[in-house]
Chain A
Amino acid sequence: MKKRLYLHPYALAGLVPAGFFLVFYVYPLAGIGVRSFFKNGQVNLFFLDQVFQSPRMLGIIWFTFWQAGLSTLLTLAAAFPCAFVLSRYAFRGKGLLQLLASIPFVLPAVVTAAALQACFGKDGGMFGVGIAHPLALILLAHVFYNFSVMLRIMTGFWSSLQGRIREAAVMLGAGPFRVFSTITLPLLRPAVLAASTLVFMFCFSSFGIILILGGPSFSTIEAEIYRQAAHLFNLPLASFLSLVQILFTFSLMWVYTSFTRRAARFMPKAEQAELKKPVRVWEKLMVAGVAVFVVGLCTVPLAALVVKSCMYEGRFSPAFYTALFQNVSGSIFYIPPVHAVQYSLLFALISLLIALVTGTCAALFIRFCDQRFTPAWASFFDPLFMLPLSTSAVTLGFGMIITLDRPPLNLRTSFFLIPIAHALVGFPFVVRSILPALRSIPQSLTDAAAVLGASPLKIAFTIDLPLIAKSLAAGAIFAFTVSLGEFGATLFTARPETPTLPVAIYRFLGQPGAMNHGQAMAMSVILMLVTALGFVGIENFRKQNPEGF
C-alpha cells in the first residue's frame, strides 16, 4: 500500500509547488534573515541598535501601526451600514451596486493612488478642493481600497444570519434591538474581527499608496525598506526591516486565520434568506443613502481619473494618450511608454501560466492529503501555501534581488524574475479559487471512474480538472490581474528597459510637470480598464464562494 501511495500523481504534484516555494520563497526569505544578523560570516546585531535606538525608525514603526489601525476603523465605519442594508434588503440595482462596490479592491494600488490624486490632489483636484495633507489622502485611499473586502466578508456573513435564526429569536419574544444585541452582534463579531484583521494587514503592508501619496514625510516599514534598499543602498538595514515586517505580517495572518476559523464555526448553514423590500420611509432613506454613498465612494475618484486624463491645458484633448506612443527625448524611459502595456501583458501571461500550474498542483496535492490522510495534514499544507499572501510584496521582491543575484541561481538580469515574483503573489489566489471546487467533487465520482478503469492520472484529466474548469478560469484571471497590478515586488525586480504599467505610472507621477502627470493618469486609466475587464470575467466564473475574497 505504501509504495502505491507515494506514486500517486497528486502526491507527486505536491513537488511542483514545494520546489517553487523552496527556491523562490523560502530561499529569498532565508537570505533576508541571514543578511539581518550576519556580516562577513559573523553574528552582527548592529542593525538591531540602528532600528531600535533611532527615533526616526521607531517613529516609522509606530506610524505603520496607527495609520493601519485608523484606516481599519474608518473602513469598518463605512462598510458596516452598507453591509447591513445589502444583507437585509432587496432592491432594484442591487447587483450593480455590489459589483460597483467590489471594483476598488481589484484595482491596483497605483491606480487607487493616482485616482485619489486626480480627485483631491494638491494641484486643485477635481472639484477645486485639494486635500493638502498627505495623511488624509492616505487614509482616504485605504478606505477606498479596502471598503470592498470588508463589505464582502461582512455582507456574506450577515446575510446568513437573516433567516431562521432571526425568526427563532423573534418568536421567543426578542424585539429588533434585542435580536441585534443578543443574536446578530455576537454571531457577527468573529467575521467583523476577521475582516478587520485582514484590512489592518493590507494597510500595514500598504506600499504603493504610501509611496505615492505620502511623499517623503510619511513612511511605513514597507516604504522604508524600499528607500533604504533602493535609494540609500543600505541593504543590511533593509533586510532587518524586512524581517520585522515579515514577523508582523505573519502574526497578523495567524490572527486572521484563527478569526476566520471561529467565524466559520459560527456560520449557520447557508439558507436562502428572505430579503425584505424597503417599505417604510426610513428604510427607503437608508437604502438610498447607502446607494449614494457606495456610488460616490467607488466612482467619483475613478471618474476624476478618467476626466483628468482627457484634459490638457483646460480643454478636452487626447494629448496624454497620444504622448504615450512617442519616445520623447529626455523622458524617463528609453522606449515609448506604451510599451509598458505590452510588457505588463506579457509578464501577466507568463505569471498566469506559472501560477496556474503551481497552484493547480498545490490544490490537487491538498486534496490528496484530504482523502488519504487525517485532516491534520491538509490543514497543515493549506495555510502553508497561503504564506505568500502574508508576506508583503516588497519583502518578497527585496529577498529575491538579494539572493537570486548570484550562483547557484543568478536571475538578476533574467526576464523571468518579474513573472516569477508575480506568480508567487498570484499563487494563493489560484489555490483559493480551485480548492473549494475540488473539495466539492463527491468522492463517489472519482471512485466510479477508478472502478471503470481510470488510472489516477486519467481521473485527473477526465474528471477532476474538467469539473473545476470554471474555477480554473477564475483562478487564471485572478493571477493575471494580480500580475497586472503588482507594484511592490516589481519595483525591485523590474529592469529599466522593461517597465510594467504600475512602475511606469509611479515614475511618471514622481516627475514634475503636467505632461508627466497627465500621462500617469492616462496609463492608470488603461490599467484600470484592463483590470476591470478581468474582474468582470472572474465574477462570471465564480460561484458564491465564501472562502475567497
Chain B
Amino acid sequence: MENELVLDQVGKTFDDGSLVLRNIDLRLAQGTKLSVLGPSGSGKTTLLRLIAGLEPPDSGNIFFDGQRINDLPPHQRRFGMMFQEFALFPHMNVFDNIGYGLRMKGFSRDRIELRVKEMLVLTGLSGFEKRQVDALSGGERQRVALARALAPEPRLLMLDEPLSSLDRVLRKRLLAELTAILSRLNITTLFVTHDHEEAFAAGSRVIIMNQGSIEQAGTPGELIQSPKNQWVREFLGL
C-alpha cells in the first residue's frame, strides 16, 4: 500500500545489553492517527527514533512505501518530527525555523516564502515571521515546532510528547488545537505520550507500551472497555 509504515520484529538493545524494544510489529496505513502510550522508560521515544532513523534498530526491519529503510539516513526519509522541548533553532527567527526543511530541499526563496506563510496561517502565527524564538511563549513555540515539521510536507509525522513541557491549562487548549490541525491533513501521525487522555484525544488507534513491548493495541473505546490485563487497567486508571 502507498506510504504504508511497517515494522517487522524490530528490536533494540542499549550498549549495556539491556533490552529497550523487543520484537515490535506494527502496520500503519496512510492517514492513520496512532497514539503511542506508555509510562516513561517503556521504549516509546526509542520507537520513534528508530522510525525517524536517528538510531538504527538492532534487529528486524522497517519498511516505508514498500521500501526497506533500515539503512536510510534520517535526512533522506522525508519524515517529520516534533521534539519534546521543541528543539527550535535558537540562532534563527520563526521564519527561518519553519523554512529550514524547505531550504534543505533546495526550494527557491519565493517558494519557501509562500509555504512558510501558508504554515503560519495554518498554525495561527501570521505576523510572527521575524520574531526570535527565545522571545516566544510556550504555546507559540509549540506551534512553530508544528509548522516547522509540517512545512516540507513529510510522508509521516511523529510527535514526541509535544505537550509535556507546557502547563496543564495550556496543554488542554493546545491539544484541541493540535488535533484539529492534524485531522485536517491526510498525514500518518505517531503521537507519543504518557498521558492517556492525550492519547485518546489524539489517536484513532492506540498502542500501549510496557517494558519495550506492545502490551495492547486497539481503538480508545476498545482499550477502555476491555483492558487486556491488570497492568493495563491500572495504567489507564480504570
A374-B15, A462-B100, A467-B90 known; A451+B85 contact, CB < 8 A: no
Closest chain-A Cβ to B118's Cβ sits at a distance in Å of 17
Q: Determine which residue in A447, A449, A455, A467 has the highest number of CB atoms from chain B within 10 A of its CB, and name it.
A: A447
A37, chain B: closest CB distance, angstroms: 43
Q: Are A447 and B73 in contact (CB under 8 A)?
A: no
Q: Whose C-beta in chain B lies nearest to the C-beta of A448?
A: B87
A451 pairs with B15, CB closer than 8 A:
no
**B11 an interface residue at 8 Å Cβ cutoff?**
no
A281 contacts chain B at the CB level, 8 A cutoff: no
Cβ of B104: which chain A residues have Cβ within 8 Å of it? 449, 452-455, 458
Establish whether residues B87 and A453, one from each chain, have CB atoms under 8 Å apart when the complex forms: no
Is B36 interfacial (CB 8 A cutoff)? no
Q: Which residues of A contact B49 (CB under 8 A)?
A: 447
Asked whether, in the complex, the Cβ of B56 is within 8 Å of the Cβ of A447, the reply is: no
- Prevailing SS type, chain B contact patch: loop
Chain B: minimal CB distance from A29 (Å): 35
How far does the Cβ of A88 sit from chain B's closest Cβ, in whole Å? 33
Determine how close the nearest CB of chain B comes to the CB of A135; give it in whole angstroms.
Answer: 53
B15 to A, closest residue via Cβ:
A374
B76 partner residues in chain A, CB cutoff 8 A: 453
CA A444 – CA B152 in complex, angstroms? 19
- Count residues on chain B whose CB falls below 8 Å from chain A CBs: 31
A451 near B91 with CB under 8 A, answer: no
Closest to B104 in A: A453
Kindly provide the distance from the CB of A149 to the nearest chain B CB, expressed in whole angstroms.
Answer: 32
A450 in contact with B71 (CB, 8 Å): no
A445 near B: Cβ within 8 Å?
Answer: yes
Contact with B along A249-270 (1 / 0, CB 8 A): 0000000000000000000000
Give CA–CA (A450, B158) in the complex, Å.
14
Which residues of B (13-70) have their CB < 8 Å from a CB of A? Answer: 15, 49, 52-54, 56
Q: Which residues of the partner chain A approach B95 to less than 8 Å between Cβ atoms?
A: none
Q: Which residues of A contact B149 (CB under 8 A)?
A: 451-452
Within 8 A of B (CB), among A433-464: 442, 444-445, 447-456, 458, 462-463
C-alpha spacing A448/B73, complex, angstroms: 13
Q: How far is the CB of B73 from chain A (nearest CB, A)?
A: 6
Contact B152–A448 (Cβ < 8 Å): no
- B80 at interface (Cβ–Cβ under 8 A)? yes
Q: Does B74 contact A (CB under 8 A)?
A: yes
Q: Is the CB of B56 within 8 A of A1?
A: yes
Q: Please tell me if the beta carbons of B83 and A447 are within 8 angstroms of each other in the complex.
A: yes
Structural contact, B105 and A451, CB atoms closer than 8 A? no
Residue B89 at the chain A interface, CB threshold 8 Å: yes
Q: How far is the CA of A454 from the CA of B74 in the complex (A)?
A: 9
Cα A453 to Cα B80 with chains together (Å): 9
Most buried by B among A447, A453, A463, A466: A453
Is B101 an interface residue when CB atoms closer than 8 A count as contact? yes
Q: Which partner residue on chain B sits nearest A449 by CB separation?
A: B100
Contacting A466 at CB < 8 Å: which of B75, B79, B87, B91?
A: B91
Which residues in window 89-137 of A have CB below 8 A to B? none
Task: Produce 1/0 per residue, B189-216, CB < 8 A to A.
Answer: 0000000000000000000000000000
Interface centre among B74, B77, B90, B148 (most CB of A within 10 A): B74
Known: A444-B85, A445-B89, A447-B87. A452 touches B73 (CB 8 A): no
Supply 12 further A-B pairs (C-beta < 8 A) apart from A447-B54, A447-B87, A453-B76: A442-B85, A448-B83, A448-B89, A450-B53, A450-B54, A451-B74, A452-B101, A452-B148, A454-B104, A455-B75, A462-B100, A467-B90
Q: List 15 A-B contacts (CB under 8 A).
A: A444-B84, A444-B85, A445-B87, A445-B89, A447-B49, A447-B83, A448-B87, A448-B89, A449-B75, A453-B76, A453-B104, A455-B73, A462-B103, A463-B89, A467-B90
